[in-house]
Structure 1
Amino acid sequence: MPVNVPNPIDDDLYPGETWWRDHQPWLDQCGLALRPRVTPGWIPSWIGRNVSPYTCEDFQSYALPVVQDALRKDDQRVVMLKNVDPNEYPTECGIANYFSSKELADIPENHCVPIYEAMQAPGEGIIILVMPLLRKCMDPPFETVGEVIDFLGQVFEGMLFMHQHKVAHRDCHAPNIMMNADAMYPGGFHPVAQNKSPNWKGRAKHFSRTERPPKYYIIDFGISIRFPLSDSSPRARAVWGGDGDRPPEIQQQGAEYDPFPADVFYLGNIIKHHFTEGRVSTEVKRKIGFTFLESLAADMTNSDPSKRPTMEEVVARYSEIRGGLSSWKLRQRVVRCDEFFLARWYRNTRHWGNTLGYIIKRIPPIPTQQ
């Protein structure tokens, strides 16, 4: 059973963090060392010092209390833990473990986040999923058109793989797509403030995606649903995910709909919101030079779900688009539409210097997994 240790500084912990602190002794016995912040007896490092808490490593916390990082003692690997309540999300663990099964885990087209272990918290029904430490899919920003092409290609491939196994994600917006950036960040990065080094001394140094290609993963199966392979007319009750720009068929919660075209709609939104159009509500700016994706994005977000392409069709059309792009186009820099012209000139100069180096080293314009 987890040990409830009195802690005089509960006010310094956010809601949800006390659960991790109270379960720390059990997790430690399981070989998972939590950060000092959620360890019983923790005293904030800024107390008694003339420093801002924001500058202290142990002040850093997660916006979502259901996640927490840990050091796996047997191999000193930093992993991510997720607290899942099966009563609230009955399908999440089953779907996550299904795609991490021996039969599916090593298939290259599988872009579902790997599950290293699933543990049941003692005395309660909570399941802890142990996963790799990943980064947000768009951090750091894409440098070239080729890097964006690789990103979208992997995501489309991964969603097709899910659909082929009759699983609809239902919440596939950008925050639920992450990347394994171990190769990009050989020195690692802090799990919470990922622009910082693991030891909190300076910024995390990294290579570009072109130099060290990442693998992108689809995460968070909390509202995902799996149908029998024989089901030719899958239907579900509408629930709302994180993307407020929802397809018309799920404007009302509880409405019956086919969730697979809705997945296509959400992926079309990623193209529109982050590349071809931008999004005022999140202050994401349009990127210059992605008009070649506008037609595909428009079809993927058609208001009539029956007129949207299937994921098979999306992947096929995307392959044609990709094949029609020149090496020169693929090596172009990703430019925000509001970039100041002097900054653009300076960055373009640096970019083409780096590009010349890539060409000399024969690094392809589209990152390729080794």
Structure 2
Amino acid sequence: MMFPFVSLRVWPARDQEGRDVVIRLIFGREPSDELRILQRLNTEKARSNPRNHSICILEYITFDGPIFVVMPRWDQSFNPDFYTVAELIHFTGTFLEGFGFLHEHRIAHVDFLERNTGINVLVYTNAEYVKGLRNTSVTRYAIYDFGGSLIYPEDTILEDVHSNEFFNFRLRGYETPPGPWNPFQVDILFLGCVLECWVRHIEDIVPEIGPFFDSMVTEDTHKRFTARQALQEFQKIRSQLSPSQLGSLVTNRFWQDGVVKGKIEYLKKLGRC
């Protein structure tokens, strides 16, 4: 089984119970924000909440100061093919729930990218053509890599938070706006940018999905959804979908700047077809 991730802080392994796991090094002898975030997300109460879609921590290992965390090894969640609209709706709703949970616990991820997500399967990494891996009754998705994330006291008012930390707007196709920035607003922009590319191509089947993403990625922060608003609006859209819409086959793969790429076209661009 390939391990495609290139990082000097992450290693694949198999534990004594035979589970495929990942070991991640958290730098420093002093508690870091990353460690505090993982600890907050992995209390018994937090883990019992079904909206907590952060990767679970199986074990903490301390060795001569630095701390290593052991996590399940899951594949990147955007790779396997989507077969039906229902699978895309479940996928999108999971990440919206997950970010709502993070923000409720005053955690801003601020680096949502495809590679920072997981799906509870292990397959050949480049198998974008594989179907049948997204059964909505058993498939789980996870958010991970909190190395650049921010954590605040749990009584913090989200609207009052501002930061001068570096947020990579250009990576998402945006010019860097004048700072300081609200990291929770940045989170929604980055989440929306990624999800829009992989989901908005079903707009011909679910017309409401277009305006929904417009409200996630607008540069007007006063009009941009909060995590709670985004989830509520998405749940409203989902509740109004018919069985016919949910069962519709997904024939496209990607959306970018209004241009939709079909599955074959997308694979040809990657050189895998």
Confirm or deny a common fold (TM above 0.5). yes
Match of 2:94 in 1: 154
**Equivalent position SS for 1:113:** coil
Which structure carries more relative contact order (alpha carbon 8 Å, separation 6+)? 2
Match of 2:144 in 1: 219
Q: Distance in 2 between matches of 1:168 and 1:245?
A: 17
Indicate how the Cα distance of structure 1 residues 93 and 264 shifts in structure 2: closer, same or farther if over 3 A, else same: same
Match of 2:9 in 1: 66
Residue of 128, 131, 142 corresponding to 2:68:
128
Indicate how the Cα distance of structure 1 residues 158 and 61 shifts in structure 2: closer, same or farther if over 3 A, else same: closer
* 1:261 is the counterpart of 2:261: no
Q: Distance in 1 between matches of 2:156 and 2:173?
A: 25
Q: Tell me how far 1:234 sits from its aligned partner.
A: 1.2
Amino acid at match of 1:79: V
Q: Tell me how far 1:216 sits from its aligned partner.
A: 1.0
* 1:163 is the counterpart of 2:109: no
Q: Tell me how far 1:230 sits from its aligned partner.
A: 2.7
Alpha-carbon displacement from aligned partner over 1:227-260 (angstroms, at most 9, x marks no partner): 1233221122232359711665x557xx321111
Structure having the higher Rg:
1
Kindly indicate whether the alpha-carbon contact (under 8 Å) linking 1:95 and 1:226 is maintained by their aligned counterparts in 2. Answer: yes
Q: How does 1:281-320 map to 2 (within 5 A)?
A: 289-320=205-236
Question: Between the two proteins, what is the percent identity of the paired residues?
Answer: 24
**Equivalent position SS for 1:256:** coil
Q: Tell me how far 1:118 sits from its aligned partner.
A: 1.6
Alignment RMSD (CA, Å): 2.9
Match of 1:173 in 2: 113
Kindly indicate whether the alpha-carbon contact (under 8 Å) linking 2:81 and 2:131 is maintained by their aligned counterparts in 1. Answer: no
Q: Distance in 2 between matches of 1:168 and 1:265?
A: 12
Residue of 171, 177, 180 corresponding to 1:244:
171
Gaps of 5+ in 1: 1-56, 182-188, 197-204, 278-285, 342-370
Indicate how the Cα distance of structure 1 residues 242 and 221 shifts in structure 2: closer, same or farther if over 3 A, else same: farther
Gaps of 5+ in 2: 253-260, 266-273
Match of 2:270 in 1: none
Q: TM (normalized to structure 2)?
A: 0.82
**Equivalent position SS for 2:134:** coil
Kindly indicate whether the alpha-carbon contact (under 8 Å) linking 2:15 and 2:21 is maintained by their aligned counterparts in 1. Answer: yes
Q: How many residue pairs are counted as aligned between the two chains?
A: 253
